[in-house]
Structure 1
Amino acid sequence: AQEGSPLQSLVDGGQQFAFALRHNAMARAGTRLSIEGVFLGGPHPWGDWIDATARMLELGKERGEVLPHVDPMVSAKVIVASFTGIQLISEADSGRADLREQVAEMWRHLLPSIAHPG
């Protein structure tokens, strides 16, 4: 993905959120409350994030960055679920010390199935 591209924006946004989760108590608290709320019958906290990710993938598809077979909504759910799981595991393993590295690894696995090479 080229700089300024929708895909690069998704990658950068994930890294920025990972940084915030590591260094911003409000981001950690909001994330924790959102996740806990699901188990208490609260609202689905990821809907807006999934929708925004799907819009970025659709834009990437229109610009030729995203492979033709990619369903933006399905891929958005996979991306958001992957990030959510990775941040939970990173919290348990290292207090999120390795979160940015783990998010980069997530993208190394996901981008080849989403993005045109190059």
Structure 2
Amino acid sequence: RGHTTELLAGRAHEVLALDNASEMVKAAARRVQGANVKFERMDILEDPAWLRMLGERVPAFTVVFVDIGGNRRLEHVVQLLKLVRCYMPCLRHVAVKSEALVKTLELAPTEAIARAVWWEVF
């Protein structure tokens, strides 16, 4: 309910927090208030055109924190990461909170080249 947004708002110049649940957006907006934070109800997986607009924004967002439910299915996390990679070319950092991704990464190769190949296939 805005805990991560609150942490990010204390460190970032600008934060755009998106959630697909209206009640979560309202709760987070009550918890975190500041000129550098904006909240929107949006499901990027349902409307990826929104992500394209964010990718064309000036100044560009350079960091994305993905938390689409710590226990959301891996295919949704991967789908969102592919969209972010496609539509937001100016990103320098992408952080992901996903239990499913952590479990999958535990099975990935540990050697750097093999892991890079694994990511490409993934």
TM-score (norm. length: structure 2): 0.24
User: Which of 1 and 2 has higher RCO (CA within 8 Å, sep 6+)?
Assistant: 1
Q: Higher strand share goes to which structure?
A: 2
Q: Higher helix share goes to which structure?
A: 1
